[in-house]
Amino acid sequence: MDYKQAKAIGEEFIEEIMQFCERCELTGGIRRKKEYPHDVDILIIPKGPELFNFAHKLNSLGGGGKIKQRMIIPYKGIKIELWLSTHSRWVVDFFVSTGSEKHNRMIAGKLKAYKYHLSVSDGVILDEQKIPVAIASEEDIFKLVDMEYVEPYYRTMDKILQAAPRNTDEEEEEPFI
């Protein structure tokens, strides 16, 4: 399935669930404008009082079982990967769910080198003392590792080399992880 088809299906799915959500965004390969995404990633903040109705709607769309932080729902010939978030973890979840997986591992490695820890399961970046770092935007994540902001389209390993560290005074570059 090509980008346009996957995006249209993702937007249609969002229309189906939007009434149960405070916030809803396409992420993953669609946000990165991948030519042939293998799935549709959608990050949402469900409305608290609507959670039961939301679960019922997901079941009617092909999802089954319990509401979890990440769910796979087959929908119109493509896999929808639904990421449930909260206001406090939105930015980190938005960043992680956008990917790519290799890009996320590279950033996690750089964060570790700068004495931070990316906790995907908690949707937070922690400092050395395990205290959550205030992250207001994706740009803040890149600033933590002295990188310019990288647009989602470039967050693949073949394109990531275009994101050079801001600090050019260092003699030795850190290796990509």
CATH number of the domain to which 51 belongs: 3.30.460.10
Could you give the percent of the chain with pLDDT greater than 70?
Answer: 84
10 and 72: one domain? Answer: yes
Using only the alpha carbons of the chain, give its radius of gyration. Answer: 17
pLDDT of residue 177: 40
The pLDDT tens digits for 76-102 are 989 999 999 999 999 999 999 999 999
Q: What is the pTM of this model?
A: 0.83
Q: Is residue 170 part of a domain?
A: no
Q: Answer whether residue 169 shows pLDDT above 60.
A: no
Residue type, 64: G
Sheet holding 78-84, edge to edge: 21-27, 39-46, 78-84, 70-75
Q: Please give the residue range of the domain that contains residue 142.
A: 92-160
52 and 75: one domain? Answer: yes
23, 52, 84 — which closes off a domain? 84
The pLDDT tens digits for 15-66 are 999 998 999 999 999 999 999 999 999 999 988 767 767 777 777 777 766 6
Q: Kindly report the CATH number assigned to the domain that includes residue 116.
A: 3.30.210.10
- Total tally of structural domains belonging to the chain: 2
